[in-house]
Chain A
Amino acid sequence: MKGPGQRSTNALVVLILATMPFWMQYVGGYTELATQVLVMALAAMSLNFLLGFTGTLSFGHAAYFGLGGYGVAMIIKYIAPSTPLGILVGVAVGTIAAMVIGALIIKLRGVYFAMVTIAFGQVFFFIAFRWNSVTGGDDGLTNWKRQALDLGFTRVELLDHALTFYYFVLLIFLLAAACMALILRSPFGRTLLAIRENERKARFLGIPVEHHLWLSFVISCAFCSLAGTLYALLNNFIDPRALYWGQSGNFVIMAVLGGMRSFWGPLVGAAIFVVLQDFISSRTENWMSFVGLFFVLIVLFFPRGVLGMIRRRSSQ
């Protein structure tokens, strides 16, 4: 499945990401924006694990993104000032929620599945929105900061060192991406492709489709909640908008924009989305209509996304 061409693509991606903070300023960016690209890319790639490689559209991934974010924020604010513990708990909370909700909805297909993921996502949104005393309500959870990493022999400051934090996020991003890539190349990953291509056939090849869909959903949500923890740490802040279904829609836009049939497509989509958002929103309030216009043009003229278009050009 993975030829030498794929390997050089991976090397190129790692090279670009590893040097991003140094050239970001020349394209009008800054280090925190680079970090935000990584965080959104991880969320979009995790969504695409389900959308592009299992063939199931979720419109509720912000729920797990936000649960990860609230998880890490609450741990650091209320329980223990530890970044790694916060991340672990955030991911655990998101994953457990996905296990329970996944089991309830996995029999649904297509638009029904997407609608129910929205509905469950909104439940978490309203909890965060209303439960002022714990979640900070509409104002979000403030007055906490990401903590330094204690590695035993040394302490790594993350708070006032934007560059250090970028590489911390990059390390987690690459580990997560490698995990997803390995899973997709495995026998289990191929059963997901089989389900995407022809669910009925997969069933008659001996694959218990519901079980595999559930696993794919849980894996996808686990990585999305990991992205959510990094998002909260990046901003030292989390609010209910991270759980809102509009955020889920943004993840879908990023995946489709970049190309949902390619592994790195959502990364490209997230980069375009985040940079456009930053660039246009500093000039006009209506930045979303420009992103929307761009999205419509891409979908109309390059249905396989930006990366799909580049692939097609280079293979001709």
Chain B
Amino acid sequence: MSLLRVENATRAFGSLVAVNDVSLSVAPGKLQAVIGPNGAGKTTFFNLISGFFPPTSGKIYFDGKDVTGLAPHQRVQMGMARTFQITEIFPELTVRQNLRIPVEVAAGLRLRPWISRRMRDEIDARVVELMLQGNLEDKANRLVGELSHGDQRATEIMMALALKPRLLLLDEPTAGMGDQETYDITRLIRKLHREQSLAIVLIEHDMRVIFHLADRIMVLTEGRVLADGTPDEIAADERVQAAYLGESH
């Protein structure tokens, strides 16, 4: 059974149809890439999945349940987490504080006006574990706003991971990064995907990253699905080459 199923999702802004009749199915533990030229509707598609706004028509199912009308925080509770194309963090808080907030939310503590010492130790241990995974342990007490772009990205991904999701939505995680940072983030994503058998939907421009990571690739152009298949199928697809690969490479 698929973990995420999008059925004929359409989203219009006035007369502009940003996402037009797109369907997608992601199995548990799979890494699905979404590619396409600028303005193809990739981020709008992400916003539909994560609940930033509802589709004009169509349905979204997560874990077999209809989540089309649910608010973002309700989808998070069900196990869906996302990052943003332009990094969204708490810049004036430290790395430790940034991570502690989602860890406490995931532990069901968000309304607690106090916590026991034992619980606090557990939270602290989980925060440290996440910092180690994201190679952030030596920056624990630095303000996130002062970190490099790559470390901010790593913090954002670990914040999403702190929510213990089953599906992670990553919107251009390597956007605006140099080669070394792109390499580091790619390795981090692959590690998370392999070790935790986490399902990931990834929007990406960098073809090396895509073909390195993806189990399946969906190509969007002008809001529509142009092709959907394995990396080999996509690489061999003439329409994709004409519409997308050909023009940018």
Contacts and interface: CB of A to CB of B under 8 A. Distances in A.
Nearest to B156: A201
A191 B107 CA distance: 13
B77 interface: yes
A193 B90 contact: yes
Given A187-B115, A204-B50, A197 B73 contact: no
Contacts, number: 80
Contacts of A205: 76, 101-102, 105, 159, 163
A201 B105 contact: no
Contact of A187 (B81, B89, B90, B104): B104
A293 B50 CA distance: 49
Given A190-B97, A198-B89, A206 B105 contact: yes
A149 B89 CA distance: 51
B12 interface: no
Contacts of B163: 205-206
A94 to B, nearest CB: 20
Nearest to B78: A206
B44 to A, nearest CB: 16
Contact of A191 (B91, B101, B159): B101
Nearest to B111: A188
Nearest to A205: B102
A194 B89 CA distance: 9
Given A190-B100, A190-B104, A197-B93, A204 B112 contact: no
Contacts of B233: none
A169 B111 CA distance: 30
B232 interface: no
B111 to A, nearest CB: 6
Given A205-B159, A206-B105, A207-B110, A186 B115 contact: yes
Q: How large is the interface on B (under 10, 10 to 19, 20 to 34, 35 or more residues)?
A: 20 to 34
A-side interface mostly: helix
A208 B89 contact: no
A188 B113 contact: yes
Nearest to A184: B113
A179 to B, nearest CB: 9
A135 B201 CA distance: 63
B122 interface: no
A207 B73 contact: yes
Interface string A168-195: 0000000000000011001111110110
Contacts of B84: 204
B73 A182 contact: no
B114 interface: yes
B241 to A, nearest CB: 35
Contacts of B90: 193-194, 197-198, 201
A204 B104 contact: no
A203 interface: yes
Interface of B: 50, 71-73, 76-77, 81-82, 84, 88-93, 97, 100-102, 104-106, 109-115, 159, 163
Interface of A: 1, 182-183, 186-191, 193-194, 197-198, 200-209, 212, 215
